[in-house]
């Protein structure tokens, strides 16, 4: 089964276009190193929770939007082999990051279920 790196970010709302350009460059690089799919989502309906929520998890500030994304890899071995190459790639340092990386939440996840339309469970 596939392996997924997932992340949650706080991105300045006015910096959406700059973030999209950054995400497009990063997606191409991830795919060059073996990623099957890169998905970036812009928060549109991110409610406040009673105890916790995306906003609190990343200390969202006024004028920022929650971004959730994931990178799908063929398996954990492919992901583990790719990351050192990605970190060493000079394109990673190409310009300022359009988000506060100190508030980024990220992790790697083993696929437990992948239910797609038309597929049998």
CATH fold of 3-49+56-63+76-110 reads Alpha-Beta Plaits (3.30.70)
Q: Per-domain residue ranges for the chain? A: 3-49+56-63+76-110
- The full DSSP string for the chain is --EEEEEEEEEEGGGHHHHHHHHHHHHHHHHHTT-SEEEEEE-SS-PPPSS--HHHHTT--TTEEEEEEEEEESSHHHHHHHHHHHHH-GGGGSS--SS-GGG-EEEEEE------TT---
Residue 43: predicted pLDDT: 98
Residue 120: predicted pLDDT: 67
**Taking the chain (121 residues) in consecutive chunks of 10 residues, what is each chunk's mean pLDDT?**
96 97 95 98 96 96 98 98 94 85 96 83 62
Measured distance CA(112)–CA(2) in Å, rounded? 9
């Amino acid at each position: 089964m596939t392996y997924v790196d997932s992340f949650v970010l706080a991105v300045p709302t006015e910096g959406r276009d700059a973030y999209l350009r950054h995400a497009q460059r990063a997606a191409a690089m991830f795919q060059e190193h073996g990623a099957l799919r890169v998905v970036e989502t812009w928060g549109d309906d991110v409610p406040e929770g009673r105890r916790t929520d995306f906003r609190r998890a990343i200390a969202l500030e006024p004028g920022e939007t929650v971004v959730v994304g994931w990178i799908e890899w063929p398996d954990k071995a492919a992901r583990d082999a790719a990351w050192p190459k990605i970190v060493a790639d000079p394109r990673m340092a190409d310009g300022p990051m359009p988000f506060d990386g100190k508030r980024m939440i990220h992790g790697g996840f083993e696929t437990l279920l992948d239910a797609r339309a038309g597929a049998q469970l």
